[in-house]
Amino acid sequence: MKNKKALIAILAAIVVIVAALLIWQPWKKAETPATPAGEGAVKVGVSMPTKDLQRWNQDGENMEKLLKEAGYEVELQFASNDVATQLAQVETMIDNGCKVVVIAAIEGSSLGQALDKAAEKGVKVIAYDRLLMDNEHVDYYATFDNYKVGTVQGTYVKDTLKLDEAEGPFTFEFTAGDPGDNNAGFFFNGAMDVLKPYIDSGKVVVKSGQTEFSAVATPSWKSETAQKRAEDILAANYSDGSKIDAWVCSNDSTALGVTNALEANYDVAGLGWPIITGQDCDKTNVKNMIAGKQSMSVFKDTRTLAAQVVKMVGQILKGEKVDVNDEKTYNNNKKVVPSFLCEPVFGDAGNYKTLLIDSGYYTEEDLK
């Protein structure tokens, strides 16, 4: 009897030990947390071109917020639109131990020295919205479908003026973006591919004769530069009171310059506002849309782009397959860079409330 009780006690002890082991599972390798957190968190660098444009302030803030929420330490820098400053800032991020660097370049071909250093130190590089050019050490690219941005602009103009049905002729002018920004060519070409057949047929006339990207580009996307060029075009070609039907601008900062030039140097009261396109839905430009000055702006929800980049950063650091949906389009002259393209949509006076306010991008107060 005593032996039976002892055996039962031993078996009970074994059951307790086995249960404890099953719960503890000391033989299993500790899993890496889903995101790094706390002291010694992984560092991620974010390099933005400038604080002078609302767009880049929002991008930087969105990226920093989401990366911190994911548990990363973030080094965010703005380069004041100075290439040498951006180069130095990115190199410092690498020297400071950042494991991934996200770069929205001022000039796409000017950061080769920093990209080489990143490769030497095993730092991964994500080009953000502007492709980094002429260097093989660009790991990924995250942006919107930039060619589609242009086609959205061109299609808006075509549909609004009913170019397929109307007799015309219509008068257009074009203002494109920074020649140092690889995206600018995609924007311009997308719009021009929609509208060029009407120019070739004579249904659309460009009185200035400026239809090549090199002639219509705007260095640094500056509103002042776009405004001065628009003033020159108006003085040379429209001082006789000729009507302009559309002014195709690649983004909101250039559209703002064109709008300012037209307001001061064109008979808006008598001729009406031409169709003016834009991109980014900047606050001032949305106010102009509400006021009937600017016609539309392509909305690229930077919250979506920032969230995608944060996801890509996590996938890189955890050794997972990184999400991309384009491995053919974006050749930086050294390689085709694996890319993730987000979808752009357009906003105008008819849908801005749904697109921008109801989604929480802006408040009603922002647009007063």
> In terms of domains, do 259 and 150 share one?
yes
Total number of residues shown for the chain = 368
pLDDT exceeds 90 at position 323 = yes
> In terms of domains, do 183 and 248 share one?
yes
> In terms of domains, do 69 and 187 share one?
no
Look at residue 293 and tell me if it is in a domain: yes
The Cα-based distances of 253 to 51, 295, 354 in angstroms read 13, 14, 23
- Give pLDDT, residue 17: 47
The Cα-based distances of 24 to 10, 16, 19, 218, 301 in angstroms read 21, 12, 9, 64, 45
105-154: pLDDT as tens digits: 999 999 999 999 999 999 999 999 999 999 999 999 999 999 999 999 99
161-193: pLDDT as tens digits: 999 999 989 999 999 999 988 899 999 999 999
Where does a domain end: 299, 315, 335? Answer: 299
> In terms of domains, do 208 and 294 share one?
yes
- Give pLDDT, residue 30: 31
Where does a domain end: 299, 326, 353? Answer: 299
> In terms of domains, do 62 and 100 share one?
yes
Q: Give the structural domain span for 288.
A: 146-299
Structure tokens, 222: 């500056």
Look at residue 27 and tell me if it is in a domain: no
- Give pLDDT, residue 28: 36
- Give pLDDT, residue 3: 54
Query: In this structure, are residues 262 and 273 in contact, taking their beta carbons and an 8 Å threshold?
Result: yes
CA–CA distance, 80 with 88 (Å, rounded to integer): 12
pLDDT exceeds 90 at position 22 = no
CA proximity to 50, closest of 75, 84, 82: 82
CA–CA distance, 114 with 124 (Å, rounded to integer): 12
Look at residue 188 and tell me if it is in a domain: yes
Where does a domain end: 299, 322, 357? Answer: 299
Look at residue 355 and tell me if it is in a domain: no
Domain count, the chain: 2
Query: In this structure, are residues 277 and 295 in contact, taking their beta carbons and an 8 Å threshold?
Result: yes
Query: In this structure, are residues 143 and 117 in contact, taking their beta carbons and an 8 Å threshold?
Result: no
Look at residue 117 and tell me if it is in a domain: yes
> In terms of domains, do 200 and 131 share one?
no
pLDDT exceeds 70 at position 6 = no
CA–CA distance, 195 with 204 (Å, rounded to integer): 8
